[in-house]
């Protein structure tokens, strides 16, 4: 059974209710927010007071159908609002939809490890949203670690933090992207390092991060059209 079939009043009565609310300074506004398995639509007046009545409930359900997010499941976020227009007899607004997308950029970040430090692979984890965090681990298969391993891990993290952050931020700015997070991880085998003097050297050629892909779209509930359909 459709939302339209469930209502206890005609579309004309619904239009009259919206016009009356507007005339009383309580113009109805449908608002929504959700994503990641939860989401909701509600109605407020212009002063932000909730509107709870059969007419509001029907319009809320109509907006659920219009947005068509179902259970709001997925790696996305959406929000927006649509206010009633007494001239057009429509709820008109914008849905701001965005989803997270993994992206990469070229890099020339150099990692240097003293050649006397034993390891089988270097694991780097980058994280956070506003300011980059870097975790470094020199993994060894035989469980033996050099006494200086921990201090070397800290130095590597310190040395590469600013170059990684700057490279990503410069790329995001140049490409006009909407940055989301630094989350990524890298596993570099010891065999990929080159011996340079007393050090092992590796250049990170690519960095990963996440951005928001935004897709705003117009949203409307056309009560005049629904009235024609009803008749």
Q: Nearest 5°: phi and psi at 184?
A: -170, 170
pLDDT of residue 6: 56
Residue 7: pLDDT above 90?
Answer: no
pLDDT of residue 2: 45
Q: How far apart are CA 197 and CA 187, in angstroms?
A: 24
pLDDT of residue 127: 97
More confident: 4 or 76? 76
**Burial degree of 121 (CB within 10 A; 0-12, 13-18, 19+):** middle
- What is the reported pTM? 0.66
Q: How far is CA 69 from CA 1, 60, 73, 157, in A?
A: 18, 13, 8, 42
- Token pair belonging to 107: 């890099």
Q: How far apart are CA 89 and CA 28, in angstroms?
A: 12
Q: How far apart are CA 112 and CA 130, in angstroms?
A: 26
Residue 116: pLDDT above 50?
Answer: yes
pLDDT of residue 3: 56
* Predicted confidence band of residue 1 (pLDDT cuts 50, 70, 90): very low
**What is the three-class DSSP state of 25?**
coil
What average pLDDT does this structure show over 28-57? 95
């Amino acid at each position: 059974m459709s939302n339209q079939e469930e209502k206890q009043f005609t579309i004309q009565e619904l239009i009259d209710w919206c016009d009356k609310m507007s005339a009383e300074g309580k113009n109805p506004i449908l608002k929504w927010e959700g994503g990641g398995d939860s989401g909701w639509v509600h109605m407020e007046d212009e002063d932000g007071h909730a509107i709870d009545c059969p007419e509001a409930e029907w319009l809320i359900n109509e907006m659920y159908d219009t947005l068509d997010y179902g259970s709001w499941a997925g790696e996305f976020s959406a929000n927006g609002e649509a206010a009633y227009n007494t001239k057009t007899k429509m709820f008109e607004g914008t849905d701001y939809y965005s989803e997270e997308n993994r992206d990469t950029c070229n890099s020339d970040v150099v990692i240097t490890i003293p050649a006397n430090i034993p390891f089988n692979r270097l694991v780097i984890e980058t994280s956070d949203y506003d300011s980059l965090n870097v975790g470094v681990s020199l993994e060894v298969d035989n469980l033996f670690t050099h006494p200086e391993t921990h201090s070397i891990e800290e130095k590597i993290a310190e040395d590469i933090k600013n170059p990684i952050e700057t490279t990503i931020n410069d790329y995001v700015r140049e490409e006009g992207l909407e940055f989301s997070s630094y989350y990524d991880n890298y596993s570099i085998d010891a065999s990929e390092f080159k011996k340079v003097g007393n050090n092992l050297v590796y250049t990170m050629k690519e960095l990963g991060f996440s951005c928001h892909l935004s897709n705003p779209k117009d949203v409307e509930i056309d009560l005049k059209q629904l009235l024609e359909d009803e008749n």
